[in-house]
Amino acid sequence: MIRSVVRGFGASLPKRVMTNSEMEEKVDTSDEWIVQRTGIRQRHIAGEGETTASLGEAAARAALDKAGLTAADLDVIIVATSTPDNTFPATAVNIQNRLGMHHGAAFDVQAVCSGFIYAVATADAYIRGGLARRVLVIGAETFSRILDWNDRTTCVLFGDGAGAIVLEAQEGSGTTADRGVLTAQLRSDGAHKEKLYVDGGPSTTGTVGHLRMEGREVFKHAVGMITDVIEAAFDATGTTAEDLDWLVPHQANRRIIDGSARKLGIPLDKVVVTVDLHGNTSAASIPLALNVAASDGRIKQGDLVLLEAMGGGFTWGSILLRW
């Protein structure tokens, strides 16, 4: 059985770090409120010349280096983003060109904060279906550019950055002892589309628009949706919370992360948390967190790793993989 195995990982963050105390100068908020309600202490904000494609390119180069590969070795590039450099072409083709790659295919996936989960699931389907042997999967965002910087209920929450992994076809035995993606669980429900959305777009206002969120409403649904897709991943593979080495959640809010882990009986010392450093970077948050925990030696080859996310749409999903 063909499995999609992680061969390399990398990330890139904008140079500029913005602390909560700098936020206090912009809107009526406090470091205490932000830390207590979200766990966020700082975020990176893209500066002049830094865009979703430039951050994605840097993350991609780091992942290719780690894998010992070049763009010539890739078949497909998939970029998860809700903040593309342009409405079209896809940010993926922009990055493809920046990498000097002129073969294969490149396209974007748009599932907001669940984007990386959707992109990995798509890459895995391409690989297992024989359409590609190596896929570069990138989550890249510049949410700072769609924030309403006068709205304290949203502008304190988000940050910019990019992370990437290279997935490669490898023969497995078909058991959960295999390295690679073991299951992908995807969900969406557009009935919730107005709870977290951008109030503009090419076909409506002709403008880019700003992010709008009913935070409390999103929060209310988050833990239930996250635990639903995690339990589905356990059911699909016959694994349990005890088998996990690491939970790498989407980093929106420390309270959502802790609540989901507690509900599933996953000890907090097995949970990778980077929301304090990066804020919510939407589709970039999981690959950024993976990069931190794999670089500092926490995630090791052979570890069972669970990824999960929930966000605008709503969309939600999980990936269980052996590193």
Letters for 263-302 (x = contact with ligand UT7 by CB under 6 A, - = none) are -----------------x----------------------
Q: What is the token pair recorded at 138?
A: 């990138």
Contact present, 248 and 272 (Cβ < 8 Å): yes
Residues 4-23 that bind ligand UT7 (CB under 6 A): none
- Strand-strand pairing, 105-109 and 76-80: parallel
Question: Which one of 113, 155, 192, 278 is the catalytic residue?
Answer: 113
Minimum CB separation of residue 76 from ligand UT7 in Å reads 26
* Distance in angstroms (rounded) separating the CA atoms of residues 304 and 41: 29
Count of positions (residues) in the chain: 323
Question: Using the rule CB under 6 A, is 252 a contact of ligand UT7?
Answer: yes
Residue from the set 17, 29, 41, 98 that interacts with ligand UT7 by CB under 6 A: 29
Question: Which one of 20, 94, 280, 291 is the catalytic residue?
Answer: 280
Stretch that binds ligand UT7, among 85-93, 138-146, 152-160, 258-266 (CB under 6 A): 152-160
Minimum CB separation of residue 22 from ligand UT7 in Å reads 13
**Cβ-based neighbour number of residue 49 at 10 Å:** 7
Determine if the peptide bond prior to 107 is cis (ω within 30°).
Answer: no
Residue from the set 80, 113, 229, 261 that interacts with ligand UT7 by CB under 6 A: 113
**Closest of 137, 224, 225 to residue 181, by C-alpha:** 137
* Distance in angstroms (rounded) separating the CA atoms of residues 293 and 245: 12
Residue 280 is among the residues annotated as catalytic for this protein: yes
Question: Using the rule CB under 6 A, is 254 a contact of ligand UT7?
Answer: no
Question: Using the rule CB under 6 A, is 188 a contact of ligand UT7?
Answer: no
**Closest of 41, 40, 58 to residue 49, by C-alpha:** 58
Residues 39-98 that bind ligand UT7 (CB under 6 A): none
**Cβ-based neighbour number of residue 203 at 10 Å:** 6
Minimum CB separation of residue 223 from ligand UT7 in Å reads 10
Question: Which one of 192, 210, 250, 278 is the catalytic residue?
Answer: 250
Residue 113 is among the residues annotated as catalytic for this protein: yes
Q: In the 8-state DSSP scheme, what is residue 64?
A: H
* Distance in angstroms (rounded) separating the CA atoms of residues 260 and 36: 17
- Strand-strand pairing, 246-249 and 304-311: parallel
Residues 196-225 that bind ligand UT7 (CB under 6 A): 215-216, 218-219, 222
Minimum CB separation of residue 165 from ligand UT7 in Å reads 20
Residues 6+ apart with CB under 8 A from 104: 74, 75, 76, 77, 96, 132
Minimum CB separation of residue 30 from ligand UT7 in Å reads 6
Contact present, 305 and 246 (Cβ < 8 Å): yes
Q: 96 or 281: whose CB is closer to ligand UT7?
A: 281
Q: 5 or 290: whose CB is closer to ligand UT7?
A: 290
Binding footprint of ligand UT7 on the chain (CB under 6 A): 29, 33, 37-38, 113, 152-153, 156, 215-216, 218-219, 222, 252-253, 256, 280, 311
Query: Annotated active-site positions, please?
Result: 113, 250, 280
